[in-house]
Amino acid sequence: MVNKEKNLDTKSETKQNDKQNSTRSGKEEALSEGDPSFALKDLPGVGAATADKLLSCGYDTMMSIAVASPDEIVDATGLGENVARRIISAARSKLEMGFESGDKLLDRRKSVLKIESGSDAVNKLLGGGFETGSIIECFGEFGSGKTQIAHVLSVRVQQQIKGATAVYLDTENTFRPERIEQIAKGLNMNPKEVLKNIKVARAYNSDHQMLLAEKIDELVKKEKLNLKLVVVDSLTAHFRAEFVGRGTLANRQQKLNRHMHTLLKLADTYNLCVYVTNQVMSKPDVFFGDPTNAIGGHIVAHASTFRVYLRKGKKRTRVAKLIDSPSLPEGEAGFVITEAGLQDI
């Protein structure tokens, strides 16, 4: 029950976040210019002490409050729930979040960037590449290429977007700087520079993984990063290993839900691409069709904007299949993994 509610929560908040995108650039910056507490103090019901409390907990822009949930603010600041609700609603009206006409939404879609993979077929499947402002989930069996794509995107995002950086949350100890060097050289880029712009953190368990994701916002602000890619490889491995047995499922899904929410907020606030990988579990009761299923169930499925299923094809090829996307048809693309990254067959 709890799960179901949380899940719905995420969906409606995702939609809200969509609308909030448009105010991301202009107004938020204007309001947080100079002394940010000044703007916060302008909100009805927020005195100097509350503004300080919010600021010290990292709520230093209107947007950070507007996209928060009341529970989150209560947990972080110790403010009462009603106060938190009032502040959030005031921040939302300050940013004029509400209905928007379709033509404005179309304009906003123009700020979406598409990180190319190196394979035209894969790019085409995704409508041009791996989109910013979205979570893209790749799931598939071992060796299907999930981690390879993560490496390729970490390099290519820098080639395509000037000054872009990537954050790489590595849960399985499979990030390889040597592989990044190889891909960068293949693209005539300076491997040292490329490596410098990838911030890697090893996550040792699911709590650590969640905490690291929550710290990304702070990192961006502190180091003034032009963060355009967040990789979580693998999204689900720790959760899967730690929560074994039926009784623990609700707890696991609730945590995963929170984690996905953190990632969605990053995608939205910074117009960045979140790339997550996911394992498959075999379904022994399925004899026809593909007997595999992604881990994480509905929570991960709903929160991901694009879902791609990867499998090994003939003669060392790989096949990517688009399972779920807001506006693209389902389809398949073949590619190969080479020293330089991804290429068409």
Ligand X SMILES: Nc1ncnc2c1ncn2[C@@H]1O[C@H](COP(=O)(O)OP(=O)(O)OP(=O)(O)O)[C@@H](O)[C@H]1O
Chain contacts with Mg ion (rule: CB under 5 A): 146-147, 174
Asked whether 277 and 307 are in contact (CB, 8 A), the reply is no
Say which entry of ligand X, Mg ion, none residue 339 contacts (CB below 5 to 8 A, set by partner kind). Answer: ligand X
C-alpha count within 13 angstroms, C-beta hemisphere, residue 219: 19
Q: Which of 92, 94, 108, 146 binds ligand X (CB under 6 A)?
A: 146
Element (H, E) at 276: strand 273-278
Nearer to Mg ion, 15 or 176 (CB): 176
The interface partner of residue 23, options being Mg ion, ligand X, none and the CB cut-off 5 to 8 Å by kind, is none
**Binding of ligand X by 145 (CB under 6 A):** yes
Footprint (CB under 6 A) of ligand X, residues 210-269 = none
Question: Which of 232, 242, 199 is closest to 300 using CA atoms?
Answer: 232
Q: Do 169 and 236 form a contact (C-beta atoms < 8 A)?
A: no
Q: Is 142 in the site for ligand X (CB under 6 A)?
A: yes
Per-residue tokens: 97: 């979040």
Residue number, 37 or 174, with CB nearest to ligand X: 174
Q: Would you state the structure tokens that stand for residue 96, as one six-digit string?
A: 């004029």
Among the candidate windows 58-66, 100-108, 320-328, 335-343, which touches ligand X by CB under 6 A?
Answer: 335-343
Joined tokens for residue 272: 């960045």
Of ligand X, Mg ion, none, which one sits near residue 108, judging by CB under 5 to 8 A according to partner kind? none
Cis, peptide link before residue 206, omega less than 30° from 0:
no
Query: Choosing among Mg ion, ligand X, none, which partner's interface includes residue 24 (Cβ < 5 to 8 Å by kind)?
Result: none
Beta carbons within 10 angstroms of residue 317's beta carbon: 13
Of 254, 338, 343, 345, which one interacts with ligand X (CB under 6 A)?
338
3-state secondary structure 267-293: HHHCCCEEEEEECEEECCCCCCCCCEE
Please give the residues from 191 up to 210 whose contact with ligand X meets the rule CB under 6 A.
Answer: none
Tell me which residues touch ligand X (CB under 6 A).
140, 142-148, 174, 182, 279, 337-339
